[in-house]
Amino acid sequence: MAPCDVPVGVITGDDVLKLLTHARENKYAIPAFNCTSSSTCNAAMQAAKDNNCPVILQFSNGGGAFLAGKSVKDPNAAAAGSVAGALHVRAVAKYYGIPVILHTDHCAKKLLPWMDAMLDADEAYFAQYGEPLFSSHMLDLSEEPDEENIAICKKYFERMAKMKIWMEMEIGITGGEEDGVNNEDVDPEKLYTSPEQVYAVYKELSTIGPMFSIAAAFGNVHGVYKPGNVTLQPARLGKHQEYTKEQISSSDDKPIYLVMHGGSGSTDEEIATAVSCGVIKMNVDTDTQWAYWDGLRKFEAENRDFLQGQIGNPSGPDKPNKKYYDPRVWIRKAEEGMIARCSISMDKLLCKGTFPAKIPEAGSVPMWDFSPSSKGPMAAVKDIGGQVGGMISGFMAHK
């Protein structure tokens, strides 16, 4: 398999379509890691570099709020934090030599203002740079009746398609609990999306464009939680492809881009079946959360005696411990734990080795490519700059 011909760094638009189609045709899926900090973003990107593959970084609403800072109570905090995360990734991704899809995770009906604000940011970014800030977004209206779910997705997809933003949507119920949505007591039959439901989505969204994917439920659960009588049935995804293929008389055996949620704890075989049925993205959150903590836990357990005070350890009462408690030391250990776990997902999804990392030669890429214009929000920033400049020159003249 030849690697997909897309650039390194954050990719958007046609390149996203090209990469996800390459994945579907060559039967691999790209892992999507939930990120809550620059540290977790960097760990996921390093894993992709080390394993020679593309990667998807995603921010949930809670992750975005955390990126803004827990004390910020503004209603736009989650959007501001998600934008901040995206800008961090945009500034450094190219140095990792692999393609990165910048995505946002589950957005339920009550969180639509978060999506509206991020789309405002995408449009402002698009006005300046000719591409959106994010590569893709996910809407999750699966708690609503199907008709409403599809109608809302369609409305948002129209706005996204103008900027060639990929959209992921969910239909059917994924069990378990995530970001405050609890489906632990749901009727087990509802945990499997039907081929008719999937086709209903395809039929409506494909009138707007090809850049969308569907997370269908096939007995999967969010988080580590096992409902008693529900089994994971990834082969059902093949039925969705067959049914839609038939309805649209397509020659393509896998006309739909499918996404797997709630994959934590799935067996290798279950994952392989899902990928062979056209799953091109799998969310990974719970397992990397544990791995990040576990890296730190091990470090603390091994070095406990060096972490009890700034000075004084088994080598002597006056010995400094700075090289143990410096956050760059113990956060790095957490990152190493996460990198190892990300690598496992890349391997299981057959993604590993699909894109040999192209580390840019030293100094060959511009450190930034800002091209400020007088359009949009930058105009206000310019005005402030002018005032500050005036104050400085006034101050200098006074001196």
Q: Which stretch binds Zn ion (CB under 5 A): 62-70, 163-171, 327-335, 390-398?
A: 163-171
Which residues form the catalytic set? 105
Nearest distance, CB of residue 140 and Zn ion, angstroms: 6
The helix/strand/coil state of 352 is: coil
Nearest distance, CB of residue 183 and Zn ion, angstroms: 10
Q: Which stretch binds Zn ion (CB under 5 A): 28-36, 42-50, 191-199, 256-264?
A: 256-264
Binding mask 284-323 for Zn ion (x = CB under 5 A): ----------------------------------------
| Burial grade of 370 (CB within 10 A; 0-12, 13-18, 19 or more) | exposed
Q: Which stretch binds Zn ion (CB under 5 A): 58-66, 143-151, 168-176, 285-293?
A: 168-176
Please give the radius of gyration of the chain, using alpha carbons only, rounded to the nearest integer: 23
Nearer to Zn ion, 93 or 201 (CB): 201
Binding mask 118-137 for Zn ion (x = CB under 5 A): --------------------
Beta bridge partners of 99: 9
Query: CB within 8 A of 235, min separation 6: which ones?
Result: 273, 277
Nearer to Zn ion, 78 or 334 (CB): 78
Nearest distance, CB of residue 258 and Zn ion, angstroms: 12
State how far the Cα of 246 lies from the Cα of 174, in Å rounded to an integer. 26
Nearer to Zn ion, 51 or 183 (CB): 183
Give the number of other Cβ atoms within 10 Å of residue 262's Cβ: 26
Closest residue by beta carbon to Zn ion? 261
Helices H / strands E in the chain, number of each: 13, 14
Nearer to Zn ion, 170 or 285 (CB): 170
Q: Which helix (H) or strand (E) holds 304?
A: none
Nearest distance, CB of residue 22 and Zn ion, angstroms: 24
Phi, psi of 361 (to 5 degrees): -60, 150
Q: Given the DSSP bridges, would you call strands 181-182 and 175-178 parallel, antiparallel or unpaired?
A: antiparallel
Give the number of other Cβ atoms within 10 Å of residue 69's Cβ: 12
DSSP code of residue 3: P
Q: Which stretch binds Zn ion (CB under 5 A): 47-55, 74-82, 259-267, 310-318?
A: 259-267
Within positions 30 to 59, which residues make up the interface with Zn ion, using CB under 5 A?
none
Answer whether 163's CB lies under 8 Å from 127's CB.
no
State how far the Cα of 187 lies from the Cα of 198, in Å rounded to an integer. 19
State how far the Cα of 256 lies from the Cα of 235, in Å rounded to an integer. 15
Q: Which of 261, 333, 341, 348 binds Zn ion (CB under 5 A)?
A: 261
How many chain residues interact with Zn ion (CB under 5 A)? Answer: 3
348 near Zn ion, judged by CB under 5 A: no
174 near Zn ion, judged by CB under 5 A: yes
Nearer to Zn ion, 238 or 262 (CB): 262
Phi, psi of 181 (to 5 degrees): -100, 115
Which tokens sit at 25? 């045709």
Nearest distance, CB of residue 106 and Zn ion, angstroms: 6
Nearest distance, CB of residue 2 and Zn ion, angstroms: 32
State how far the Cα of 338 lies from the Cα of 340, in Å rounded to an integer. 5
103 near Zn ion, judged by CB under 5 A: no
Answer whether 86's CB lies under 8 Å from 117's CB.
no
Nearer to Zn ion, 15 or 105 (CB): 105
Nearer to Zn ion, 4 or 173 (CB): 173
Contacts with Zn ion by CB under 5 A lie at 170, 174, 261
